Structure 1
Amino acid sequence: MVSGLLALCMLSCDGQSSRDTLKVLDLNGFLDLQNFFAHTGHDIPLLSAHRGGKLDGYPENSIAAFENVLKHTHAFFEVDPRLTKDSVIVLMHDKTLERTTTGSGKVSDHTLAELKRLRLKDAQGNVTEYQIPTLKEALDWSLGKTVLNLDKKDVPLSLTVKKLKEWQMEGHVMLTIHSAEEAKFYLDHSQKFMFSAFVRNKEEYEDYAKLQIPWDHMIAYVGPLDKPETKELYALLNGKGVMCMVSAAPTYDKEASEELRRTKYQQVIENGADILESDRPIEVSRALHQKVKSAGSSPKKVFFKEVVN
């Protein structure tokens, strides 16, 4: 998913990096997750860093990239789980290794040990010191800092359930789902799953309603564009307490200048979106700083903390 998602959660962001502190989301279990992602009408705009962003020196889907973002802004992260040859779940967007690592071939044709010998590349193709993380390593790192939104790649839903329950991570992650049927599958196994659900039109909205998927278990991904007809969808979903997310990664992130991008980011939030997902999370945090600052009285501010790294 274009995901996976967003969070302009930058309560105290000033656009400057700090080596000593991280801007974290202090969420401790499923009830906190529900309260944090519930639409109340008095919410701080949230930011989802798509794959951790595309920043020089910081490869996508790496813990180093996630941590670097949190030095600048509160955020949650869309990530991409894939299976290795020996059935370990790692973070990797592509089926193949060439674009983002020093390796070649399919991820699924390599064992974890083989993959750990590789090094990750940043968005410009520069080789870094960083390794491919396992999903378990990333989840362990995320506790007390942020939320990972797991996009759907080649990991079977049943294996995702098995591993999250084995690691006792239900209530600490978000799952990207493409249909109401997928939501039902997860909820049949645990009521502690939170979703980033594809709800891009009224027909998909009705699908979730018909299957009685609880609205307080989701945010809604409404698409990559903020369109006039989306306002009706915002109203329907917000009326159910659901926050709505637009992904700028394939659209507004590609504007030619930071000034143009800033205008687009601000318009998306002004027009009613609650969450913006971006490959440029630090830039988005600067664009929305004043909007976030004006929402400083939100009751959700209790979830926004700064901790010594």
Structure 2
Amino acid sequence: MIFNRFNMKKKFVLLLTALLTGSISGFAQSKLNVLNIKTPKDLHALFRYTENGPILIAGHRGGMVKGFPENSIATFENTLKYTPAFFEIDPRLTKDSVMVLMHDATLDRTTTGTGKLSDYTYAELQKFRLKDAEGNVTDFPIPTLSEVIEWARGKTVLNLDHKDVPLAMTAALIKKHKADAFVMLTVHSAAEMQFYLSQNKNHTFSAFVRNLKEYEDYEKAGVPFTQMIAYIGPHVKPENKELYTLLHRKGTMCMISAASSYDKLKTPEERKAAYLAIARDGASILESDLPIEAAEAVKEFTEKRGAKAGLFGKK
């Protein structure tokens, strides 16, 4: 009996030690909600429109949460603790042509630095730290696009907005990292999409299709609608209905971004009503500066995964 009590006490001490040292990973950190994307075909399948399919959440610049700066790995990971999501991010070039993440052309709003990002080398940028949306200084440095791509592998999908990086340079970096299965490209015209397809026929796109003319431009160009999502604008409005019909017939999911519109509403209740209106309107992707809040608001829609269930997981 004494021997058994000794063993039980020893096991308890070992378990407590493991918890305190973080050696039991399930307790040391919460699992991430991930997208199980391994090939370009998986990515195309994730974004293929299906009737009664799930609404996908896109974190605009990763998200805006106190203590977590936009366009940072820490923010991406924080969002994935709460919901599966993909992320719209903003590559820019340093003075010595390193691709880093920064929405603005200047450092002032989001970092402890000042002036144009392009006036600094990557090494010089390392002395600065990122700020959160409220202007609080964090411990996080400005990340390179290469770092973020390698972090995202096996976890999520990155949507690269087009700032000042030449298209060919972006295509070359994706090729270098063999990342066409989980890195997609924002394009503002059919011509930009055609260029990327000339580099890699498997690329996936977030295309600006905000009206009938833009839709017709892509259709005339003969681009693959099954390899794109369509950004149709920031508002729920009657004109969206025609675009939904045309794009859904092509198998293309439609995205409304609340970042410049409904995210600005003052109360959570107002924002929730707006996010639900987006889901009910017919959009199948909701982009937001507040992806955690948005995902919770439209939970009934994000959980209808159906045939796409295998593309979601925990890690």
Q: TM-score, normalised by structure 2?
A: 0.90
Question: Separation in 1 of the partners of 2:250 and 2:125?
Answer: 43
1:236 aligns with: 246
- Structure with more of its chain in helix, by fraction: 2
Residue 170 of structure 1, CA deviation: 2.1
Counterpart residue type for residue 273 of structure 2: T
Per the TM alignment, residue 192 of structure 1 is displaced from its structure 2 partner at its CA by 1.5
Verify: 1:105 aligned to 2:99, yes or no: no
The secondary structure found in structure 2 opposite 1:213 is: coil
Inter-partner Cα distance in structure 1 for 2:249 and 2:293: 30
- Where 1:55 maps in the other structure, the secondary structure is coil
How do 1:241-252 residues align onto structure 2 when only pairs under 5 Å count? 241-252=251-262
Q: Deviations over 1:4-42 (max 9, x none)?
A: xxxxxxxxxxxxxx9421000010020000001000113
Aligned match of 1:289: 299
Q: Does 1:155 align with 2:165?
A: yes
RMSD over equivalenced CA pairs, Å:
1.0
2:193 corresponds to: 183
In structure 2, give the amino acid aligned to 1:80. D
Q: Could you tell me how far apart the structure 2 residues matched to 1:173 and 1:192 are?
A: 11
Distance 2:132 2:244 in 1: 35
Number of residue equivalences: 288
Aligned counterpart in structure 2 of residue 41 of structure 1, from 44, 48, 51: 51
Q: Runs of 4 or more off by more than 2 Å in structure 1?
A: 290-293
Say yes or no: does 1:303 pair with 2:308: no
Aligned pairs (5 A) from 1:164-183: 164-183=174-193
CA distance, structure 2, for counterparts of residue 66 and residue 82 of structure 1: 18
Contact 2:187 2:206 (C-alpha < 8 Å) held by counterparts: yes
Which residue of structure 2 aligns with residue 24 of structure 1?
Answer: 34
Answer yes or no: is 1:212 the counterpart of 2:222. Answer: yes
Instruction: Give the deviation of 1:291 after TM superposition.
Output: 2.5
Greater shift, 39-48 or 271-280, is seen at 39-48
- Structure 1: distance between partners of 2:302 and 2:295: 9
Say which one has the larger Rg.
2
- Taking only the aligned residue pairs, the percentage that are identical comes to 54
Q: Does 1:118 align with 2:128?
A: yes
| Letter paired with 2:253 | M
The answer to whether the Cα contact below 8 Å between 2:37 and 2:181 also exists between their aligned partners in 1 is: no
Distance 1:101 1:75 in 2: 25
| SS class of match (2:255) | strand
1:47 is paired with a residue whose SS is strand
Which one-letter code corresponds to 2:203 in the other structure?
F
- Return the letter of the residue paired with 2:144: T
* Alignment check: 8 A CA contact 1:178 1:198 kept: yes
1:234-279: CA deviations, max 9, x gaps? 1100000000000000001111110011001001111100001000
Q: Which amino acid aligns with 1:127?
A: V
Aligned counterparts of 2:291 and 2:207: Cα–Cα separation in 1: 21
Deviates more, 1:282-291 or 1:93-102: 282-291
Which whole-Å CA distance do the structure 2 matches of 1:52 and 1:91 have between them?
11
- 1:132 maps to 142
Provide the rounded CA distance (Å) in 1 between the counterparts of 2:39 and 2:255.
22
Matched, 1:71 2:84: no
Query: Structure 1: 5+ residue runs without aligned partners?
Result: 1-17
Match for 1:302: what amino acid? Answer: G
Question: Deviation of residue 117 (structure 1)?
Answer: 1.6
Larger relative contact order (CA 8 Å, sep ≥ 6)? 1
Offset at residue 142 of structure 1 (A): 0.3
